């Protein structure tokens, strides 16, 4: 009799088999929960609900941490990635960076997901002010995106880093590359914004002629006109106006600002464009038109509670009035500008208003008042460039001479002589700060595991440019 085949003998089920199946089912349920939380987080981000998104990603990460125990699984890394990107998005880059680095993929890995992870690490370093590290990670992201033709955002962000590092020529190169990438990807609006920013960097670098920069701005205009999205078209035309203003091509600037005006998305933006129009017409010597634009801008800024901007509009309006010879009205508006500057802690606005008040007082024959305001302006502008203080010293000296010549009391004080040409006695300098519309073109959007999207600012701020015109951010 042969021995039985072991395979024919019924085997008792191993005790661990049912446990494995039960554990597998539990893991599948947890994985489904993680996926659901992740989808909810992405949906909340797209809807601009950052707090809800952060909560969903936190729950997904905690659940993945419990199920993975001590193992560093792909799902745990993905959850760390999404949570880290969400922290960066919601203003906590330090915590976000720690999680993003924990989720770091293999160095040789390729593809959009790995590019997004490098991009978010770069964003975290950028937000923390570590620009060299940010540039290094943007460059790594670029390597992942370029084969996919999706490198525009990374190049634009690199341009922003180079701008912050004071390297405008490198910034211009990156922004022009970003514009080309956006155009090839069928995003003419983003391409126009990047090209407009590149023109500003080209101007700062001093290595490009006016003709070349005008060509860049005209290309930006053509790209803007190709855009089917009207939401930010006002921003594009306003940026074009700023570019032309920096080149002192004020007729073209005024034309671009006029195109921006009907495309504004609210009274605050409309006020900003009106102020820019006023500044362009001030530069062209069209003071009557400038007066009307600045008056409308001041009223609109006031209606939406933009006191800082309203003060600057009052200053620009006062300058236009002074050039029209209405020095009493100019004085009144400079007083409004001074009060607004004091209300908002705007030191530059304060000394500019005092300088204007000194000029108005001199024109009205109130030389003691002119002396008073010029002294106040000089005391408040100590952190300004030398030429500003020299100009005020010259005006103060001239006001003193006029005061003494007309029999005024001899006021004892010491004045430092101002080298170079002084301005016309009693003459006012242009005041106010026109503005930029919208988000900077170099502001790339956050990306996550499924590409996090940056939400727009709920309260855009106006940022003055070095030329005196302003941006709406």
pLDDT digits (tens, 9 = 90+) for 282-295: 999 999 999 999 99
| Alpha-carbon gap, residue 233 to 28, rounded angstroms | 48
Residues making up the chain, counted from first to last: 473
The predicted model gives 254-270 an average pLDDT of 92
pLDDT (0 to 100) of residue 60: 86
Phi, psi values for residue 462, rounded to 5°: -95, 130
For residue 206, what is the DSSP state? T
Cβ(470)–Cβ(241) under 8 Å? Answer: no
Q: Which two tokens stand for residue 69?
A: 């125990």
∠ CA 450-232-225 to the nearest 5 degrees? 110
pLDDT(251) > 70: yes
Instruction: List, in sequence order, the alpha helices (H) in 186-249.
Output: 188-205, 210-226, 233-246
Cβ neighbours, 10 Å, residue 168: 21
Per the prediction, the chain carries an average pLDDT of 81
Name residue, tokens 């990107």: 85
User: Can you read off the two tokens belonging to residue 196?
Assistant: 């407009």
CB 460 within 8 A of CB 271: no
**54 pLDDT above the threshold of 50:** yes
pLDDT tens digits, 327-358:
999 999 999 999 999 999 999 999 999 999 99
114-163: per-residue pLDDT in tens? 888 899 999 999 999 999 999 999 999 998 898 888 899 999 999 999 99
**Exposure letters 372-408 (e unless 16+ CB within 10 A, then b):** bbbbbbbebbeebeeebbbbbbbbbbbbbebbeeeee
Phi, psi of 138 (to 5 degrees): -60, -40
Q: What is the Cα–Cα distance from 145 to 118, expressed in whole angstroms?
A: 10
Over 50: is that where the pLDDT of 439 sits?
no
What whole-number distance in Å separates Cα of residue 453 and Cα of residue 445?
Answer: 6
Quote the CA–CA distance of 343 and 301 in Å, as a whole number. Answer: 15
Global confidence as pTM: 0.68
Q: What percent of the chain clears pLDDT 70, i.e. is strictly above it? A: 77
Report the distance separating Cα 101 and Cα 440, nearest Å.
28
More confident residue, 295 or 55: 295
* H helix count then E strand count, the chain: 19, 2
- Residue 232's pLDDT is 73
């Amino acid at each position: 009799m042969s021995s039985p085949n072991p395979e024919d003998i019924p085997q008792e089920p191993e005790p661990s088999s049912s446990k494995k199946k039960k554990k597998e089912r539990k893991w599948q349920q947890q994985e489904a929960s993680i996926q659901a939380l992740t989808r909810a987080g992405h949906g909340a981000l797209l809807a601009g609900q950052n707090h809800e998104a952060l909560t969903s990603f936190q729950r997904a990460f905690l659940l993945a941490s419990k199920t993975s125990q001590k193992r560093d699984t792909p799902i745990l890394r993905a959850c760390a990635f999404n949570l880290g990107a969400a922290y960066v998005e919601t203003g906590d880059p330090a915590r976000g960076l720690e999680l993003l680095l924990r989720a770091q993929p293999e160095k040789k890995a390729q593809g959009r997901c790995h590019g997004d992870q490098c991009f978010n690490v770069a964003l975290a370093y950028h937000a923390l002010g570590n620009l060299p590290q940010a540039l290094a990670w943007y460059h790594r992201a670029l390597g992942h995106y370029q084969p996919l033709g999706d490198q525009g955002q990374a190049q634009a962000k690199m341009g922003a880093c180079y701008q912050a590092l004071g390297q405008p020529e490198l910034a211009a190169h990156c922004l022009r590359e970003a514009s080309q990438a956006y155009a090839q990807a069928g995003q003419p609006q983003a391409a126009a914004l990047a090209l407009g920013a590149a023109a500003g960097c080209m101007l700062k670098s001093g290595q490009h002629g006016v003709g070349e920069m005008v060509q860049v701005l005209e290309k930006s205009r053509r790209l803007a006109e190709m855009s089917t999205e009207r939401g930010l078209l006002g921003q594009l035309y306003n940026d074009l106006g700023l570019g032309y203003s920096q080149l002192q091509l004020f007729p073209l600037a005024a034309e671009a600002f006029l195109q921006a005006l009907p495309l504004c998305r609210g009274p605050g933006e409309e006020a900003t464009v009106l102020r820019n129009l006023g500044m362009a017409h001030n530069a062209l010597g069209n003071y009557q038109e400038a007066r009307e634009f600045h008056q409308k801008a001041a009223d609109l800024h006031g209606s939406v509670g933009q006191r800082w901007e309203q003060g600057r509009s009052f200053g620009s309006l006062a300058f236009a009035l002074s050039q029209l010879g209405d020095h009493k009205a100019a004085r009144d508006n400079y007083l409004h500008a001074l009060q607004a500057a004091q209300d908002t802690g705007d030191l530059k606005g304060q000394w500019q208003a005092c300088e204007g008040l000194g000029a108005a007082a001199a024109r009205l024959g109130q030389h003691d008042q002119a002396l008073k305001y010029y002294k106040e302006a000089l005391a408040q502008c100590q952190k300004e460039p030398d030429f500003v203080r020299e100009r005020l010293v010259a005006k103060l000296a001239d006001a003193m001479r006029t005061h003494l010549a007309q029999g005024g009391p001899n006021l004892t004080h010491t004045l430092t002589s101002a080298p170079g040409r002084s301005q016309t006695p009693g003459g006012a300098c242009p005041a106010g700060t026109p503005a930029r519309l919208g988000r900077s073109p170099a502001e790339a959007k956050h990306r996550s595991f499924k590409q996090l999207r940056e939400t727009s600012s709920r309260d855009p701020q106006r940022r003055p440019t070095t030329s005196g015109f302003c941006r709406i951010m």
